[in-house]
Amino acid sequence: MKFTVIFERGPSSWGAYVPDLPGVISVGDSREEVERLIQEAIEFHLNGMREEGVPVPAPSSFAGVVEVNPAA
């Protein structure tokens, strides 16, 4: 399964969240660290859902980049 993850750089750390899995978030000192941590958080969350008999949602979000003209 592939889930969309949004990565955000803050003033002193990185954050990540998964739009299709509300509450699954992570924070780290670097992009590499937060990427590893969010993967672990997703796996932990999905395992918990399975153990509780809760259906795992199919990934439905995607991210894109939109270019705009700043002078417009």
Q: Is residue 64 part of a domain?
A: no
Parallel/antiparallel/unpaired status of strands 25-28 and 6-9: unpaired
pLDDT at 16: 98
Q: Using the predicted structure, report yes or no on whether residue 72 has a pLDDT greater than 90.
A: no
pLDDT at 68: 93
Could you tell me the residue range of the domain that residue 17 belongs to? 6-52
pLDDT bracket for residue 71 (50, 70, 90): confident
Give the pLDDT confidence of 34-63 residue by residue, as tens digits.
999 999 999 999 999 999 999 999 999 999
Q: Is residue 10 part of a domain?
A: yes
Domain count, the chain: 1
Q: Is residue 60 part of a domain?
A: no
Side-chain-facing half-sphere of 10: CA atoms under 13 Å: 10
Place of tokens 């670097």: 30
Cα–Cα distance for residue pair 69/67, rounded to 1 Å = 7
Of 30, 41, 21, 60, which is closest to residue 7 (Cα–Cα)? Answer: 30
Q: What H or E segment, with its residue span, contains residue 47?
A: helix 31-52
